[in-house]
Amino acid sequence: AQRVTQPEKLLSVFKGAPVELKCNYSYSGSPELFWYVQYSRQRLQLLLRHISRESIKGFTADLNKGETSFHLKKPFAQEEDSAMYYCALRPLASGGYQKVTFGTGTKLQVIP
């Protein structure tokens, strides 16, 4: 079974401060990890994924297999970063559909 845990329901930071949204996972095999974001009145969309090794809107996330974590980080928060963020996991396995498991989400509030 796979599980994704986001321990913070709400994270409030001041504009310009660093941001770290925590994500821990439980899965016995090799995972692919994602971060999805939902801005106010917009649909859920993919922010970044581990396999792409990319930085989107200044956000990065590093997969730490030892700590089973995939925390989302940004050095300087901006007001437009305020949104709901979901961490998700999908098994890296061949053969058939591999279900995506989502965390419960963290609301990021950037204070001006």
Partner 1 sequence: DGGITQSPKYLFRKEGQNVTLSCEQNLNHDAMYWYRQDPGQGLRLIYYSQIVNDFQKGDIAEGYSVSREKKESFPLTVTSAQKNPTAFYLCASSMGTSITDTQYFGPGTRLTVL
Determine if 99 is a binding residue for partner 1 (CB under 8 A).
yes
Among 10, 17, 51, 111, binds partner 1 (CB under 8 A): 51
- How many residues at the interface with partner 1, by CB under 8 A? 22
Strand-pair category, 101-102 with 19-21: unpaired
| Binding piece for partner 1, criterion CB under 8 A, among 13-21, 54-62, 72-80, 96-104 | 96-104
Checking 47-53 for CB contacts under 8 A at 24+ apart, the result is 47/72, 47/85
d(CA 29, CA 61): 20
What are the residues binding partner 1 (CB under 8 A)?
4, 9, 32, 42-46, 49, 51, 86, 90, 92, 96-100, 102-105
